[in-house]
């Protein structure tokens, strides 16, 4: 697990489903934008 996904400044748990992300994190219409980065150890 070197990578993590971030959406709306929140790190997404690996098991979270897209629909959950959409409804609870993204919360708006349109495509969800997620970014990936190396896992931050501090978090």
Partner 1 sequence: MRSTRNVSYIITHNKDDHGHLLGINSLALDTRTVNPKTGKPEGILYSAGRDEKEPIVTINDLKKRDGGIIQLSDGGIVQLSDGNNSILSKSDDDDNIPLEKFSDTKKGHYYWKIDEANSFSPPRASTFRQSFRSHTDWVNDIILCHNNETLISASSDRTLKLWHPHISNSPTTIGYHSDYIKTLAHAQGPGWIASGGFDRKIILWDIKECRPSSGISSINLDYLSIGTISEVSPKSSIYTLACNPSGSVLVSGSPDKIIRVWDPRSFKQITSFTGHTDNIRAVLVSDDGELVNTTIKLWSLRTQRCINTFTIHSDSVWSLFSDHPRLETFYAGSKDGLVTKTDYSGCAEIRDGDCVAVCKEDAGVIKLVALDNKFVWTATYDSSIKRWKDVCMRRNHKNYMLSSSSTSPPTSPTFPSTSPPSSPPIPSSAVIKLTSNGGVNMDTESATITTTDDHMEDLEDPIPVALIPNYMLNNRRHILTLDNSGEVALWDIILCSRLKTFGKHNIDEVLSKINTIESIPNWCSVDTRVGALTVQLDEKSCFDAEMYADEAGLPEDVEMREDQRKIQRHHNLMQQRLQQSDFRRGGGDQQESRTTLSQKISFPPATLHSTDTSNNSSTIYQKTSIISNSSNNNSGGSNSTPTTPPTAATIQSIINSPGSLPRITQSPTTPVAAFTTGPFTAPATTGTSAQDYFSVNQSPSSSSGTASSIMGRFKNPFNVRSKTPRSPTNTENKQEAENFSSTNNATNIKAGDLKLTVSTNQLKDENNSQPLRKDDETMVNSPTTSFAPQLNQMSVIGGSPSSPSSPSHIPTRQMKSIIVPPFVQFPVQETPEIQIPPHTIIIISEETPEASACVDLYRGTVDSLDRDAEIVEQKAPDWLIEFLIKGRTTQKEPFKIGFLLKPHEGSELDDLPNG
Judge contact between 8 and 40, C-beta under 8 A. Answer: no
42 binds partner 1 (CB under 8 A): no
- Does 15 interact with partner 1 (rule: CB under 8 A)? yes
Q: Which residues contact 7 (CB under 8 A, 6 or more apart)?
A: 21, 25, 26, 32, 33, 34, 35
> Is 27 an interacting residue with respect to partner 1 (CB under 8 A)?
no
Answer for which of 8, 14, 34, 42 binds partner 1 (CB under 8 A) is 34
Please report, as ranges, the residues that interact with partner 1 according to CB under 8 A. 5-6, 15-24, 30-38
């Amino acid at each position: 697990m070197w990578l993590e996904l971030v959406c709306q400044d929140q790190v997404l748990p690996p098991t979270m489903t897209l629909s959950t992300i959409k409804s609870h994190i993204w919360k708006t219409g349109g495509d969800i934008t997620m970014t990936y980065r190396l896992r931050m150890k501090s978090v």
